[in-house]
Amino acid sequence: MPTPHPDRPAPRGAWLSAWCLAVAGCTGPSADPARYAADLPAPVELDDDARRRAQEAGSRALDAAFAGAIDEARIAAQHALGIDPRDARAHAALGVVAMHEAQGESPPDLPAWRRAEGELLMAHALAPADARVTLALARFHVADGHGQAALDLIDRALAGGANNDLDLLRLASVVAYEAAEERRARSYLLRVVEAAPDDAGSLYRLALCEATLAERPREDDVRRRAWQQAADRFARYVALAPEDVQGMLGEAQARFRLWQLDGASDPERLGAVRDLYRAAARLDSRSAEAVFGEGVVAEAAGDSAAAEVAYREALRREPAHAASLLNLAALLAERGATDEARACWEKALATGLTPAERRKVEELLRR
């Protein structure tokens, strides 16, 4: 796959590392995070000015921690806690700092990881309605391998006063998408793009969710609406990120599915799909998917010769492109080029075929 556009989310499983920083030197709670978090600091008498200064320092600390400015975060957090030991954002900042410290070791340092959890649990106990504190704890849950706990935490916050917090909604959408919960991810993403219509990454992820949902068995009119939504989201994303081939390919696929659902009888619409694939192929001279799409459209238009040319070009770009091998083999077999067709099927067996595809190819080779 081409390198993702900077405004488009990376493939599943690749995004978490963006939050993993490294830091050394942090002291904190004991090895039992829950017990530490339950032992809340005693309240102190503060006048309005002191409380304001503590809150400003705590907010500055957490912002710095999120930005990876570790020394700044630690100093600001200590300043805030020197005024108010119960400042939740300062505790959350120290938790994020400890996370980075732990992740700076390989394997991660367990005592530092437990300090992080203790500080973050305490911060949330002190300010459960604070969206920034919730975000810090949710990110810890994700990094700790507990995505469902992160989603549950975010859902509670969204149901309360943080119902329109974009950072929480974006994190929830990523976690749900990574867990292949497209319907749940879509519900978060709709709220994101309503509030931030130019958020390219969220638009792309929303389009992917809608395309995945559209592929599932359901009534044709429901599938058509889903594919139309996917096509529109991809088109909007392409307008924001015109150099990203993957968005263009997504729009082309969605519009091809719509053409099929509407009876596959409008050559002008099919030509528009072909133009999208051709534009993607020109944009990325290495993209086998773009040229493969041209071949599929050519076959749909009844032009087997053009389809064969496209599949061969896709294989020149990516010799192990399984779909091109399978489609080319079928065309060759139809016109009697059996030996070359068998060679394509044999090459396909060495690629990442699904079990059903593998069984079909093996059956064809036995004939």
pLDDT in tens, 60-107: 999 999 999 999 999 999 999 999 999 999 999 999 999 999 998 888
**Is position 105 within any domain?**
yes
Whether 301 contacts 293, CB under 8 Å: no
CB 5 within 8 A of CB 244: yes
Q: If you average pLDDT over every residue of the chain, what do you get?
A: 90
Determine, yes or no, domain membership for 231: no
Position 162 in a domain: no
Residue 9: phi, psi to the nearest 5?
-60, 145
In a domain, 347, yes or no: yes
Give yes or no for a contact between 178 and 146, defined as CB atoms under 8 angstroms apart: no
Asked if residue 187 has pLDDT above 90, the reply is yes
Question: How far from the centroid of its chain's Cα atoms is residue 7's Cα?
Answer: 11
Q: How far apart are CA 306 and CA 271, in angstroms?
A: 14
The domain of 309 spans 273-367
Domain endpoint, select from 102, 123, 140: 140
pLDDT of 31 strictly over 60: no
| Higher pLDDT, residue 156 or 37 | 156
Residue where a domain stops, chosen among 95, 115, 140:
140
269 in Cβ contact with 259 (< 8 Å): yes
How far apart (Å, rounded) are the C-alpha atoms in residues 276 and 144? Answer: 41
CB 292 within 8 A of CB 324: yes
Distance in angstroms (rounded) separating the CA atoms of residues 266 and 273: 11
277: in domain: yes
Domain count, the chain: 2
What is the spatial distance between Cα 150 and Cα 217, in angstroms, rounded to a whole number?
A: 30
- Longest CA pairwise span in the chain (Å): 90
Out of 140, 159, 184, a domain closes at 140
Q: Within its chain, how far is the Cα of 13 from the centroid?
A: 8
Based on its alpha-carbon atoms, the radius of gyration of the chain, rounded to whole angstroms, reads: 26
- Where is average pLDDT lowest: 8-12, 118-122, 283-287? 8-12
Residue-wise DSSP of 226-257: HHHHHHHHHHHHHHH-TT-HHHHHHHHHHHHH
Q: pTM of the predicted model, to two decimals? A: 0.81
Which residue carries 């592929």 as its tokens? Answer: 215
Residue 122 buriedness (CB in 10 A; 0-12 / 13-18 / 19+): buried
Cα 288 from Cα 164, distance rounded (Å): 41
Residue 353 falls inside a structural domain = yes
Q: The CATH number of the domain where 318 resides is what?
A: 1.25.40.10
Within-domain flag for 240: no
Does residue 209 lie in a domain region?
Answer: no
Which tokens hold the place of 188?
A: 């978060």
Q: What is the mean pLDDT of residues 319-329?
A: 96
